Amino acid sequence: MAKLWSGRFSKEQDTLMDDFHSSIHFDSRLYAEDIRGSLAHVRMLAACGIITEEEGEAIEDGLWELLEDIESGRVEFSADAEDIHMNVETLLISRIGDVARKLHTARSRNDQVALDVRMYVLKEIHEVIDLLKKTQSTLVRRAEQHMGVLLPGYTHLQRAQPILLSHHIMAYFWMFQRDIERLEDCAERTDVMPLGSAALAGTTYPIDREMVARELGFSRVSENSLDAVADRDFIMEFLSCISIIMVHLSRFAEEMVIWASSEFGFVTMDDRYSTGSSIMPQKRNPDVAELVRGKAGRTFGNLLSLLVTMKGLPLSYNKDMQEDKERLFDSVDTVKGCLTIFERMIDTVTFNVERMRAALEGGFMTATDVADYLVRKGLAFRTAHEIVGKIVLFCEKHGISLCDLRLEDWRSFSSAFEADVMDAVDADASVASRDVYGGTAHSRVAEQIRLAKRLLG
Ligand code: ARG
**397 and 308 together in one domain:** no
In a domain, 430, yes or no: no
pLDDT of residue 362: 76
Query: Given a cut of 80, is residue 403 above it in pLDDT?
Result: yes
From residue 388, give the alpha-carbon distance in Å to each of 18, 242, 359, 404: 74, 45, 21, 15
d(CA 212, CA 228): 15
In a domain, 1, yes or no: no
Average pLDDT over residues 405-418: 95
**320 and 222 together in one domain:** yes
**pTM greater than 0.85:** yes
Average pLDDT over residues 286-293: 95
Average pLDDT over residues 113-132: 98
**420 and 318 together in one domain:** no
Ligand 1 centroid from CA 246, angstroms? 30
20-43 pLDDT tens trace? 999 999 999 999 999 999 999 999
CATH number at residue 408: 1.10.40.30
**241 and 225 together in one domain:** yes
**Which of 55, 86, 105 is the C-terminal boundary of a domain?**
105
231-276 pLDDT tens trace? 999 999 999 999 999 999 999 999 999 999 999 999 999 988 888 8
Is residue 149 within 8 Å of residue 359, measured between CB atoms?
no
Query: Given a cut of 80, is residue 424 above it in pLDDT?
Result: yes
CATH number at residue 35: 1.10.275.10
Query: Given a cut of 70, is residue 1 above it in pLDDT?
Result: no
User: Could you tell which of 113, 118, 235 is best to mutate to test the pocket of ligand 1, judged by most ligand atoms within 8 Å of the CB?
Assistant: 113
Q: What is the atom index within ligand 1 of the atom nearest the CA of 84?
A: 1
Q: What are the two backbone dihedrals, phi and then psi, of residue 144, each rounded to the nearest 5 degrees?
A: -65, -40
Q: Which residues, judged by CB distance below 6 Å to any ligand atom, belong to the binding site of ligand 1? A: 23, 27, 83, 109-110, 113, 317, 319, 321-322, 325
69-84 pLDDT tens trace? 999 999 999 988 999 9
Sign of the four-CA dihedral 332, 302, 292, 188: negative
Q: What are the two backbone dihedrals, phi and then psi, of residue 25, each rounded to the nearest 5 degrees?
A: -65, -15
In a domain, 447, yes or no: no
pLDDT of residue 107: 98
Q: Catalytic positions, please?
A: 156, 277
Percent of the chain with pLDDT over 90: 90
**97 and 241 together in one domain:** no
Average pLDDT over residues 105-122: 98
**306 and 217 together in one domain:** yes
**128 and 185 together in one domain:** yes
In a domain, 436, yes or no: no
149-172 pLDDT tens trace? 999 999 999 999 999 999 999 999
**69 and 31 together in one domain:** yes
CATH number at residue 210: 1.20.200.10
Least confident stretch, 95-99, 399-403, 452-456 = 399-403
Judge if the upstream peptide bond of residue 316 is cis by omega within 30 degrees of 0: yes
- The residue contributing the CA closest to ligand 1 atom 12 is 322
Average pLDDT over residues 399-428: 93
In a domain, 96, yes or no: yes
Average pLDDT over residues 364-381: 94
**282 and 296 together in one domain:** yes
d(CA 275, CA 273): 7
User: Could you tell which of 84, 89, 90, 110 is best to mutate to test the pocket of ligand 1, judged by most ligand atoms within 8 Å of the CB?
Assistant: 110
Average pLDDT over residues 379-397: 96
In a domain, 3, yes or no: no
Q: What range defines the domain where residue 269 resides? A: 110-358
**216 and 301 together in one domain:** yes
**Which of 105, 123, 145 is the C-terminal boundary of a domain?**
105
Task: Report the domain count for the chain.
Answer: 3
